[in-house]
Structures are given as structure tokens and as C-alpha cells.
Structure 1
Amino acid sequence: MAHSHTHPHSVDSPGADSHPGHSHGADSRGTPSHLAEMLDLDAEVLHEYHREVITWVGSLVTDRPRIVDLGAGTGTGTTALARQLPAAEITAVDLDESMLDHLRERAAALGLADRVRAVRVDLDQPWPELGPADVVWASAAMHHMADPADAVRQAFATLRPGGLFAITELDSFPHFFADPAGAALEDRCHAVLDALRAEAGLHMHEDWGARLTAAGFAIEAARQFRIELRPPLPAAATRYAQLSMERMRHGLEGRISADDTAALGRLVADLDGGRGDLTIRTTRMVWLARRPA
């Protein structure tokens, strides 16, 4: 998907299926493959959360739903929905053609290519005909929309009467260090990044409940998921933390003190050798809303 403007990748930490309003391009280490890896690791490391949400959504839809996945990214949500709902037909939309290629390859490898269609779409422009859909799925995608109210209205128009809109968003970005010094440094860094996201036009603190109601949706549920994974954690969690902290360091270059810059560099270096005290703490919000029948 695409915005008419560009949000720097370095200010947007992991957790998103994609960045719907712009091309993914290179991530903080200069290669698109690292962003794809980050998105895949989020699904792998936080698999219990993702499975619970997808099972929940799957229990609320028809047996043969038509689903539109907004900001599908590497396709972790698309393929999980396809496996949870074996008769579903899914249209996955994103702006970044490299991500869509990754998604197509994933779907083919899983034997899902006949039920998954990947389409390049700029969601900050009038949407092409994507419906009528039974479900519109937006995982960490809505905060990238240039005009959130318009995006919600277009989702409403895409759904059939009685259709379900599922929005998941990051309530807090992942934190990894439990020791007092590391945790305090993370808090300071996240505060600066939060200000940079607001400056870049990301709608991180949008009242999606109010947006949904204003567009004519009936809200069925709003639920916060508190995620806390404690050591020992698998190797994938260390890699997830490593990529996250490298992106953080890149995004904060020249924006934090020299002492904090040096301390952040040491934390990233520590992850190269692995840390036995690594944790993952984050919160996600989910809104489920219906277009009235």
C-alpha cells in the first residue's frame, strides 16, 4: 500500500504487517530483506498472541468468507487467516511490490496460492474495487494512513452489510531489557521515537473506536492484549530484539545524548552474543466492528 508521503522506517518499530501508505524500501540496515525478516519474526515470536486474535476473528465470520488484508506486508496475517479459515478467499493489498512477491512465494509454498490474491494498492488514494468483503483485516496498518477517517470510511464501503472490520494496533512498542539501566534507556529512547512518529504523521494514538463509530460501524469489542515473554527465550527472540534495537539506534542517530548513544550501542552489541535475561514486553489493541446489516 502507499501513502502520498513517506514515513521513515526507522521511526516505526516492529509489529506491523506492513506500512500501507508508502513503499517499504530499505530498512535501517539498508536492505528490504531485513524489514521482511522483522515482520516475519514478529509473527513467529509473538505467535500465541497472533493465533489468539486470528482464532477469535475466525470464530465470528462465515464459513467461506471473502477477506481483504490491508497492509499485508510479508503475508503473515494473510496466510494465518487462510489456514485458520480453509475456505476463505483473501485479497492481500500493499504498495511494496517486493513484499507482495514475498507474500506470493509464502502462499505458494504453503499451498494457498489458489485462495490468496496479492494486489498493489495505494490506500491513501480512492481504493479500487476490493469487495464486497466479509472481513477487512488491518494489522498494525491503520496508523500509517494519511487520512484515518477516510480509510475507515473506505473500509466500511468495502464490507458487505454485516461484515466485520478487525483493527489491531500497537499500544506500546516492544521492550526487551529488564535490568534497571537497560529498561530506563529503552524508556528514554521510546519517548523520543514516539515524538518522531508524531512528527512524521503516524497516527499512533488515534481513537479508533471513535473513528469506527463516526463511519457508521457498530463496535463489538475493544480488547487490550498484554504480552510478556520471560527467559529463557528462543534464538528467534534474540534476533527480533537485535533487529528492533538496530532500527532504534538508526532512528535516534543525532537525536539523543552521546552517553545514551554509547549505551544503546553497547546494548546492541550485547545482543550479538545473546543475553540470557532478555524479555519481550508489549501491548496490542484489537477493535472488532460490524457494518450494520
Structure 2
Amino acid sequence: MNGRQGESAMTVTGRANGGEDVAHGAGAGAGQGDGHKHGHGHGQGHGGGHHHGGAEIDWAVMAPVLEQNAEVTAPVYREVAAWLREVRKTRHVREEGGARGARGARAEDGGREADRPVAPDLADPALIVDAGSGPGVVSCLFAEEFPRSRVIAADPEEALLERTAARAARLGLADRVGTHRAELPDGLGELPPADLIWAARSVHHVGDQGAALAALADRLAPGGALAILEGGLAPRSLPRDFGVGRPGFQARLDAATEDWFARMRAALPGAKETTEDWRALLTAAGLRHVATRSFLLDLPAPLDDAARAHVISTFERYHTLAEDTADGDTAGTDGLDPDDAATLGRLLDPEDEESLHRRADLFLLTAHTVHVAVKEN
């Protein structure tokens, strides 16, 4: 499966992740794919969107940053892949047992349905679609973790799809990783039904999240699974009191970016207020929720260069949001008070001894939550 799977470039409204967003989640650029996000936590997906803080983004320039951010979070995505394999194995065993009579299967297996051997091809989805793939870090990672699967990286941005194709070729995965240019979720309609759709922090960049989930569910093959990365915990990278400004600085950044996120959501086309009970939303989309799990990214101090750069890029996004607000951009946050703004400036100044570039106490701790639901046969 080489080259483009399709070309259906559509209107884009608000980008999420291939890395992460700045509010809601976990870590800039950690997002799924890799993150064309807004900042600290909305993840991978590309939920759409050419504008980032009111400015047009050059994704060819941004792609290396997104790749580096996603690579820092790669251990989490490998854990997710292993967990998805186990969820898939368990489902197949239970379905097989159900076909023979649920009670008889349980008695025969001593109540350990998931312990019986399952053919490898049942654990590896035939087709995985990475919806909002960014530069394809997670697309290629899934191809490595599921060696019998084909993977299609779907994203609106041609520059990011080109990075995906180059990465797949470099890793020897070009025969199993293809690309598809499309806005999400409607642009997936040209693809064959998928056995697994992965959407990391892309759904919340669609105005009607319920409709987005229903559209993704419609692209599943019978028995296929939709795995979404939404929610989790905002990242922490500094002690509560780190010697600059008032203690509790990151908590106040969280409050500011939550306000920005609410404004971003309200400005999306067709925006609907939705209680973000992902299990209920997946059920309303016609799927059966089967599992939810959170995955911890815990990188203690001192950080290596890549992780430090990841944290710095997150705080740079905070700074961009604060500047947008100061310029009167209603898509920004409510801003920071002067003391916190000064603290943020010091943290980003490479010449300051207290900056993120120099601190020995910098760490990265965050949690990513994945919800899985299946389309009944």
C-alpha cells in the first residue's frame, strides 16, 4: 500500500494533534499522531485547522517540532498498542466462546477466557486508520507494533503527509503505511472500512463531537474498534514552588488555557455544548464501550535534551496564547496577571539562570486516557 490512499482535501477549522494541544491533556506534541496541537494537552489529532492562535501555520516548518514531541511520548503509545492488542484478543476469545455457548465456554476454560491462545492475525487489525495523523510518528509506531496490519495516516495537511511517507520509507514500512489527505471525520469516507480507528485528541476539534464519533463509527468494519485519546491530566514540569514568582504557577496556566479551550470550542462551526462523558458519547454513536485506561508518562528530572525541548515547546505555546490575548484575540485565553507573565518570560529566556533551558529540576509527568468501543458484528 504505497503512496496516497486518496485526495479529499476539505475545509479545515481547528487543529489538534499530531502532538498535543495546549489545554486539556497532556503535553505539547505528545498527542497522537504527533501533534499539531495547540499546546499542552490536546493531543495528536489533527482535528482540523490552519490557524493556531490566529496565525497561519507553516506545517513544513512545524513538522520537525511535532515529530520530536511525539517521539518523547512514544513509550506511552507503545503501551497503548500493547493494551489494544490485549483488548482485541480478549474480545475474540469471548466472541468465540459465545458462539459455542457462553456458559459452556466459561466452564471449559475455568473462567479464563482471555488466557486461551489466539491466532496472531486476530490480535493485529487488518486495517488501522490513524485519524489526524500529523507527521506520522504514531502511524509508523502502530505499523511496528502490529506487524500484520496495514496503516493509513489520514490528515488534511499535505506537508505532514509527506513527512509520514518519508518516515515510513526510512523505517522500511512503506509497503504497509499509506497516506490519505482528508479533513476529519468526513474525509474518511473514501477509505475501506477499518478494523481499528485511532483518533487522538482530534474529536474535540469538531464542533459536534457526537456527530464526529458517529461518523468515525460509520467507517468501522463489523467488529472494528474505535480508540480515542481524550481527557487525561494536564502535564506538570515544575515544582509547585520553583523559586520564581508565586507558587502554583502551572495551576494558573491550566486555568487560563481551560478558558482558551472553551473559547476555541465555542468558535468551531456547528459547535454544540456536550457533556464529555466519552463512554456515553461512544454508546450514543452506536458502539459498545469495552474499555478505558489511562497511561502515565513519567520522566523525572533531569530531562534529556529531547524531553526538555518538548517541555519548552509547551511553554512557548502558553506564551503565544498570552500574546494573542494581549492583542485582543478572542480566541486566546483570559491572559495572565503581570507577575505570572513575567515568570513565563523568565522561564523561556535562554539567558536566564532560572529558565527552562537551564533548570536541573525540570521533569515531565502527565496522563493520557484512551477509550475503546466496538461496532457489533
TM over 0.5: yes
What CA deviation, in whole Å up to 9, does each residue of 1:175-227 have, x standing for no partner? 21114156611211121111111111179972211110111211111112343
Higher alpha-carbon deviation: 174-183 or 197-206: 197-206
Partner of 2:73: 46
- SS where residue 155 of structure 1 aligns? helix
Partner of 1:268: 348
Percent identity for Structure 1 against Structure 2: 32
Match of 1:100 among 161, 170, 186: 161
Flag the 1:277–1:14 CA change in 2: closer, same or farther, 3 A: same
Match of 1:147 among 208, 211, 227: 208
- Whether the 8 Å CA contact 1:26–1:35 is kept in 2: the answer is no
Structure 1's unaligned 5+ residue stretches are none
Match of 1:36 among 59, 63, 66: 63
Structure 2's unaligned 5+ residue stretches are 1-8, 24-37, 90-121, 267-272, 327-334
- Whether the 8 Å CA contact 1:27–1:35 is kept in 2: the answer is no
- Whether the 8 Å CA contact 1:134–1:163 is kept in 2: the answer is yes
- Paired residues, what number? 293
Partner of 1:5: 13
Match of 2:147 among 72, 86, 94: 86
Partner of 1:114: 175
Give the distance between the partners of 1:102 and 1:88, measured in 2 at CA. 20
CA shift for structure 1 position 89 = 0.8
Partner of 2:3: none
Partner of 2:193: 132
Give the distance between the partners of 1:112 and 1:105, measured in 2 at CA. 10
Flag the 1:18–1:126 CA change in 2: closer, same or farther, 3 A: closer
CA shift for structure 1 position 28 = 8.1
Higher alpha-carbon deviation: 28-37 or 39-48: 28-37
Is 1:17 paired with 2:44? Answer: yes
- SS where residue 128 of structure 1 aligns? helix
Partner of 2:260: 196
Give the distance between the partners of 1:13 and 1:115, measured in 2 at CA. 31
Partner of 1:220: 290
- SS where residue 222 of structure 1 aligns? strand
Give the distance between the partners of 2:298 and 2:274, measured in 1 at CA. 21
Partner of 1:282: 366
Is 1:232 paired with 2:320? Answer: no
What CA deviation, in whole Å up to 9, does each residue of 1:10-49 have, x standing for no partner? 7621452232222377998965356423432333222322
Higher alpha-carbon deviation: 176-185 or 70-79: 176-185
CA shift for structure 1 position 73 = 0.5
Structure 2 residue identity aligned to 1:75: G
TM-score if structure 2 supplies the norm length? 0.70
Structure 1 residue identity aligned to 2:369: M
Give the distance between the partners of 1:51 and 1:27, measured in 2 at CA. 34
- SS where residue 72 of structure 1 aligns? coil
What CA deviation, in whole Å up to 9, does each residue of 1:59-78 have, x standing for no partner? 42634511111000011110
Higher alpha-carbon deviation: 145-154 or 196-205: 196-205
CA shift for structure 1 position 173 = 2.8
What CA deviation, in whole Å up to 9, does each residue of 1:216-252 have, x standing for no partner? 2111111123433211221111111111111111111
- Whether the 8 Å CA contact 1:145–1:151 is kept in 2: the answer is yes
Partner of 2:95: none
- Whether the 8 Å CA contact 1:174–1:282 is kept in 2: the answer is yes
Give the distance between the partners of 1:36 and 1:175, measured in 2 at CA. 24
Over 6 Å off, 4+ runs: 8-11, 24-30, 202-205
- Whether the 8 Å CA contact 2:45–2:201 is kept in 1: the answer is yes
TM-score if structure 1 supplies the norm length? 0.89
Flag the 1:238–1:276 CA change in 2: closer, same or farther, 3 A: same
- SS where residue 106 of structure 1 aligns? helix
